[in-house]
Amino acid sequence: MDGNLATEPKSPVGSQIAALPFRRDKNGRLSVLMVTSRGTGRWVMPKGWTMDGRKPWVAAEIEALEEAGAEGFIATQSIGTYDYDKRLDDGSVLRCRVEVFPMIVKTLKRDWKERRERTRRWFSPKAAARRVDEPELATLLRSLSGKPQKVPVIRDLIRSA
């Protein structure tokens, strides 16, 4: 080699958004709402592709309603990202980066778009972290298990809701 570093072409990265629906009980403890994925039945957050013409948090709010039947107040600022490998319909795999927007759930609908395709369940952040496959998502969930109100985005959302 002549001293120049060979560079491989970068693989494409898909851009997705997710809602992190949560609620607080009367003692202030946080629970997060997770849903099962349609294909594998893994526990995930409501997520999907970004939507043309929509702000990312609006798209995340739509996913929460469609996938989990959750309505509430969503933050306009994300609390982090995580990466995962998405298997596409043609069998190929696309690396995706997911931007996560916290959402205080005010209402859970009994009838929602994907109710026959998914199961939804409330978990403590630690229990949710144990059930997800993505290490970065597990870390993000565990960060909410102590004092979530110390996370600025969560604190601001709680105050404004």
Residues 6+ apart with CB under 8 A from 134: 82, 83, 84
Is the pLDDT score of 19 beyond 90?
Answer: yes
Tokens of 16: 């997705």
- With a cut of 50, say whether residue 1 has pLDDT above it: no
In a domain, 1, yes or no: no
* Confidence band for 91, pLDDT divided at 50, 70 and 90: confident
Q: Kindly report, residue by residue over 109-120, the tens digit of the pLDDT.
A: 999 999 999 999
Of residues 145 and 44, the one with the higher pLDDT is 44
For residue range 53-87, list pLDDT tens digits in order. 999 999 999 999 999 999 999 999 999 999 999 88
- Domain for residue 6, yes or no? no
Task: Give the mean pLDDT of the chain.
Answer: 89
Give the structural domain span for 20.
12-158
Residue 2 lies in a domain: no
Residue 129 lies in a domain: yes
Domain CATH for 102: 3.90.79.10
| Per-residue confidence (pLDDT) for residue 24, from 0 to 100 | 86
Say what the pLDDT of residue 7 is.
Answer: 58
H-helix segments, the chain: 56-68, 125-131, 135-142, 152-160
Query: pTM value?
Result: 0.86
Structural domain count, the chain: 1
Q: Given pLDDT bands bounded at 50, 70 and 90, which one contains residue 6?
A: low
Residue type, 25: D
Q: How far apart are the first and last CA of the chain?
A: 60
User: Is 3 within a domain?
Assistant: no
63 assigned to some structural domain: yes
In a domain, 93, yes or no: yes
